[in-house]
Amino acid sequence: MNGSTRTASAAPSDAVLPLPPLLPLLATDAEAVAYFAGIADLDATSPADHHLEDGVHLASGARLEQFARAGSGDAFCFVGEGGEDRPVVYVSLDGAAGPLALGLPELVRLCLALPWWRDAPGRTAEGLRSVAEEYREDVPDLDLRRDRAARALGLDPAELPSEAAALARLVELSRGPVAAACVVVGEEGDPFEPLFG
């Protein structure tokens, strides 16, 4: 789940090449946009329209750069300076925030494996199975659309994390040093609630 590399068939044996930049593909590739904006609720198609609410920032003072949004207006943000390997934080309009991934490749894998992750906080394993079933009822060709989006981004669908592994990773990030370094505060200086308690 943390890997951001793939094996190229034309390269020498066991050679590993980095994934191409993912953000442009999330904004322009039809299969990727259909899945991420339509199913995973991660819309990277209009970056000029992505603006955090005034005063929302990281307690550490590090840069918080929005690169995508959810339909609700919630924000997907990079932390600090650099490229797509920066930590990704989700900032909800209802005052919750927290890390989702250590880089865009990991976030992409999370959304492919567990597009209903926002419904995970506080849910039991049985509750999450129920959410997954609802998603599959609403989108009967979910697996096909997921696999097409993965391939469009240069990922092998067979190498995506399981739902359980993706959820465990979310919990791990929410309780570790990354969460401590990614505390989001509002205009008044009050910290946002963690995404996962």
pLDDT of residue 16: 39
Let me know if residue 138 belongs to a domain: yes
In whole angstroms, how far apart are CA 36 and each of 44, 60, 95, 109? 8, 30, 23, 11
pLDDT of residue 10: 37
Beta strand 96-102 with 193-194 is parallel
Let me know if residue 1 belongs to a domain: no
For tokens 């929005």, the residue is: 66
Residue ranges making up the domain that contains 47: 22-185
pLDDT of residue 20: 65
Let me know if residue 102 belongs to a domain: yes
Let me know if residue 142 belongs to a domain: yes
> Region 51-62: what's the mean pLDDT?
89
- Percent of the chain at pLDDT > 90 equals 64
Let me know if residue 172 belongs to a domain: yes
| Statement: residue 51 has pLDDT above 70 | yes
Which DSSP symbol is given to 191?
B
Number of domains in the chain: 1
Contact 86, 63 (CB under 8 A): no
| Statement: residue 11 has pLDDT above 60 | no
Question: Of 35-39, 126-130, 184-188, which range is least confident?
Answer: 126-130
| Statement: residue 19 has pLDDT above 70 | no
Let me know if residue 3 belongs to a domain: no
Query: Per residue in 91-109, pLDDT tens?
Result: 999 999 999 999 999 999 9
| Statement: residue 6 has pLDDT above 80 | no
**Amino acid identity, position 86:** R
* Beta-bridge mates of residue 57: 185
